[in-house]
């Protein structure tokens, strides 16, 4: 017999299972691909969303700055134009009414300006004031002698200036209000140098500035103006409600008194890195919570970005969701993407399980086939996957063929050869114990049986004996009608083949006697058997033609064992079981085996007589 050697296997700790391997590979590719796309998409989207939110805020702050700066620039340009007109003589200071008419026209074009004053070199001045009802009052001609005027001090101190400037917020008791004024001296050029001729003063009240913030505020965004050093509030849409708190010592409204619940908490808000949201440099950004627990951001413009010389910064506070909601939506999208990625991994695992299940079954079945445990090889179901279906059909056909083949090949022999990793078994000399059995009187007993009954009887009988041989590790060489030939000591080497062979013979005797009791109970005749057992050197291995060989033993030892079995009918013709062994066997058995010496007997085919011993089962 020729057998392919068993494949060499990797160590157990280096072998992988198909389901986790497929899950890892398929899931790994899915995970890496999807994760990279998700990361790139999330990173890009986050930058876009952050920059978009920052751009909206930057655009809004720029619009606020432009709206305020436009009004500031209008004041500065109008003041400069008036100074040029007065210095050039286009408007004569000596004609107060003409100057007043010009001032009426300038004031009507600038709704945010509260009043305009033109002062001559002697300190006399003309004032045109806008009323609270947006009406323009009759001009006031104030002589120098009126030192009680609210702006007398500012006019006096400005006579030494040579460049335009903005005054800080100042409270004027006579008006009970705070103003911010732009002052520009009137200078004439002469060979001796520049001569002071007077000045032009345009003032904006906190009320007018608050109206500006009210005009550019929206339902979500609250605009205010603030002193960036002191956090004093200069303008706010709701500030007119607390103008009664203005005084010479408090020319602006403190944070604690501003009628804006969130703005009151400005000092306790937390600084925020404006660059995180794409807010351009130069802006202070803070975060806090309103009275309802809603998060809000506040952005305050740097004074350097506002009108030069004006100690005012524009600020705005707005719901944090304007910036964070898109990021939260992006985060939700990322979480959904991660969840879908997780589902794809679960799907990959399920797919791997479905693909691996038939392969795993085939692997278990192949392992059972390798051990010749064909009954343990489960039938593989079909599959919608063509290759897996072909695998199942091929495997099932292979198991069916091997099952049929195993009926004609001793499985115990094949297992032994496979365990030794032998591809073939070349003939070699071994010391082997050989056993023969035969049924006494079988020919005459079978004459009364049909062919089916005879086959059933022989199969049952051989099954009883074969089971005991296999149990003791013997190799069944062949069945010869109702006889069995078996041996011990090949293909595996045994230190004392006699003992398992003798135990098998005694076990056969017990099995036959137990079966005979059942036969007698059924009214059938008992079975009598003879067993011969001899041990000695012989040739064992593959014997036969190249296209068909048998693993068997040949030699005198085989003949001697067969003759001992035949000698049984001479020794005790009526015994149900006769076990005759040679002295070579008996000498290798311990005292637990009961024996009866029979003496020396000449057997057919041997020149030398055999010392025969009967084992008592």
Query: In the prediction, which pLDDT does 87 show?
Result: 82
Query: In the prediction, which pLDDT does 486 show?
Result: 93
Mean pLDDT over 375-398 rounds to: 73
Burial 56-79 (b: 16+ CB within 10 A, else e): bbbebbeebbeebbebbeebbebb
Q: Is the peptide bond before 491 cis (omega within 30 degrees of 0)?
A: yes
Work out the pLDDT band at 205, boundaries 50, 70, 90. Answer: confident
pLDDT at 551 over 50: yes
pLDDT at 3 over 60: no
Mean pLDDT over 549-571 rounds to: 88
What digits encode the pLDDT tens for the residues 312-368? Answer: 888 888 888 877 765 555 566 667 767 777 777 777 677 766 676 777 777 777 776
CA distance 248 to 147: 18
CA distance 186 to 87: 6
CA distance 579 to 605: 20
Query: In the prediction, which pLDDT does 467 show?
Result: 92
Q: Which residue has the higher pLDDT, 373 or 259?
A: 259
Q: Are 585 and 557 in contact (CB under 8 A)?
A: no
Q: Mean pLDDT across the chain, nearest whole number?
A: 79
Q: Which residue has the higher pLDDT, 164 or 347?
A: 164
Cβ neighbours of residue 331 closer than 8 Å, sequence gap 6 or more: none
Residue 316: strand pairing partners:
223, 299
- Whole-number percent of the chain with pLDDT over 70: 74
Q: Which residue has the higher pLDDT, 401 or 316?
A: 316
Query: In the prediction, which pLDDT does 166 show?
Result: 83
pLDDT at 200 over 80: yes
Work out the pLDDT band at 92, boundaries 50, 70, 90. Answer: confident
pLDDT at 405 over 80: no
Q: What distances in angstroms separate CA 179 from CA 127, 149, 169, 234, 307, one per listed residue?
A: 15, 15, 5, 10, 16
Q: Does domain 91-208 have CATH number 3.30.450.20?
A: yes
CA distance 182 to 188: 20
Query: In the prediction, which pLDDT does 472 show?
Result: 93
The ranges assigned to domains in the chain are 91-208, 217-319, 412-615
**Rg of the chain (C-alpha set):** 59
Query: In the prediction, which pLDDT does 465 show?
Result: 94
Query: In the prediction, which pLDDT does 587 show?
Result: 93
CA distance 170 to 19: 82
- Whole-number percent of the chain with pLDDT over 90: 22
CA distance 433 to 586: 12
Specify the range with the lowest mean pLDDT, choosing from 61-65, 111-115, 131-135, 194-198: 131-135
Return the axis-axis angle of helices 451-471 and 498-521, rounded to nearest 10°. Answer: 140
Q: Is 478 helix (H, G, I), strand (E, B) or coil?
A: strand
Tell me 247's DSSP state: -
Query: In the prediction, which pLDDT does 60 show?
Result: 64
pLDDT at 443 over 80: no
Work out the pLDDT band at 227, boundaries 50, 70, 90. Answer: confident
How many CB atoms sit inside 10 A of residue 302's CB?
A: 13
Residues in the chain: 617
Work out the pLDDT band at 459, boundaries 50, 70, 90. Answer: very high
Query: In the prediction, which pLDDT does 17 show?
Result: 63
Q: What distances in angstroms separate CA 282 from CA 61, 289, 314, 397, one per listed residue?
A: 12, 23, 12, 82
Q: Are 85 and 237 in contact (CB under 8 A)?
A: no
Query: In the prediction, which pLDDT does 30 show?
Result: 66
What digits encode the pLDDT tens for the residues 478-535? Answer: 888 889 999 999 888 899 999 999 999 999 999 999 999 999 999 888 999 999 999 9
Query: In the prediction, which pLDDT does 312 show?
Result: 80
Instruction: Report the greatest alpha carbon distance in the chain.
Output: 172
Cβ neighbours of residue 537 closer than 8 Å, sequence gap 6 or more: 429, 430, 431, 432, 555, 557
Domain at 412-615, CATH from 3.30.70.1230, 1.10.275.10, 1.10.260.40, 3.90.1150.10 = 3.30.70.1230
Q: Which residue has the higher pLDDT, 594 or 396?
A: 594
Tell me 265's DSSP state: G
């Amino acid at each position: 017999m020729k057998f392919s050697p068993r494949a060499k296997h990797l160590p157990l700790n280096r072998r992988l299972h198909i389901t986790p391997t497929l899950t890892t590979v398929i899931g790994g590719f899915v995970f890496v691909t999807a994760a990279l796309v998700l990361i790139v998409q999330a990173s890009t989207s986050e930058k876009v969303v952050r920059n978009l939110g920052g751009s909206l805020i930057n655009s809004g702050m720029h619009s606020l700055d432009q709206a305020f700066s436009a009004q500031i620039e209008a004041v500065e340009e109008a003041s400069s134009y008036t100074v040029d007109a007065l210095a050039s003589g286009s408007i004569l200071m000596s004609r107060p009414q003409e100057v007043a008419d010009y001032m009426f026209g300038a004031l009507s074009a600038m709704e945010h300006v509260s009043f305009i004053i033109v002062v001559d070199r002697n300190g006399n001045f003309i004032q045109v004031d806008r009323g609270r009802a947006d009406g323009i009052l009759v001009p006031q001609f104030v002589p120098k002698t009126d030192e009680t005027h609210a702006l007398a001090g500012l006019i006096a101190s400005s006579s030494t200036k040579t460049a335009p400037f903005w005054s800080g917020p100042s409270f004027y008791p006579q008006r009970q209000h705070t103003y911010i004024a732009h002052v520009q001296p009137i200078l004439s050029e002469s060979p001796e140098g520049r001569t002071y001729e007077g000045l032009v003063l345009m003032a904006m009240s906190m009320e007018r500035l608050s109206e500006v913030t009210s005009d550019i505020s929206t339902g979500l965004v609250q605009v205010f103006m603030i002193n960036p050093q002191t956090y004093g509030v200069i303008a706010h849409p709701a500030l007119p409600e607390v103008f009664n708190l203005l005084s010479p010592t408090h020319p602006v409204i403190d944070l604690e008194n501003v009628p804006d619940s969130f703005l009151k908490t400005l000092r306790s808000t937390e600084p925020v890195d404006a660059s995180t949201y794409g807010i351009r440099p130069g802006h202070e950004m803070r975060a806090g919570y309103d009275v309802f627990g809603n998060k809000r951001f506040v952005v305050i413009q740097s004074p350097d970005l506002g009108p030069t010389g004006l100690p005012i910064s524009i600020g705005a506070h707005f719901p944090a969701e304007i910036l964070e909601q898109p990021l939260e939506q992006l985060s939700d999208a990322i979480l959904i993407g991660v969840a879908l990625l997780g589902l794809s991994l679960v799907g990959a695992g399920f797919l791997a399980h479905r693909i691996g299940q038939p392969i795993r079954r085939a692997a278990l079945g192949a392992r059972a086939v390798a051990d010749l445990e064909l009954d343990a090889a489960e039938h593989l179901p079909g599959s919608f996957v063509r290759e897996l279906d072909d695998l199942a059909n091929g495997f099932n056909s292979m198991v069916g063929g091997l099952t049929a083949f195993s009926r004609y090949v001793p499985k115990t022999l094949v297992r032994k050869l496979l365990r030794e990793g032998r591809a073939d078994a070349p003939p070699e000399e071994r010391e082997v114990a050989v056993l023969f059995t035969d049924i006494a009187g079988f020919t005459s007993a079978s004459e009364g049986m049909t062919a089916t009954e005879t086959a059933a009887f022989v199969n049952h009988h051989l099954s009883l004996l074969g089971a005991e041989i296999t149990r003791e590790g013997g190799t069944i060489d062949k069945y010869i009608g109702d006889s069995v030939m078996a041996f011990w000591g090949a293909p595996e080497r045994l230190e004392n083949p006699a003992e398992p062979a003798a135990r098998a013979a005694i076990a056969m005797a017990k099995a036959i006697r137990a079966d005979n009791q059942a036969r007698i109970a059924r009214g059938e005749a008992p079975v009598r058997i003879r067993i011969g057992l001899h041990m000695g050197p012989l040739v064992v291995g593959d014997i036969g033609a190249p296209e068909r060989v048998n693993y068997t033993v040949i030699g005198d030892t085989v003949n001697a064992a067969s003759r001992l079995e035949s000698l049984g009918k001479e020794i005790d013709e009526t015994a149900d079981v006769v076990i005759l062994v040679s002295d070579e066997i008996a000498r290798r058995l311990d005292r637990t085996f009961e024996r009866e010496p029979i003496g020396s007997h000449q057997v057919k085919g041997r020149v030398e007589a055999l010392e025969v011993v009967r084992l008592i089962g």
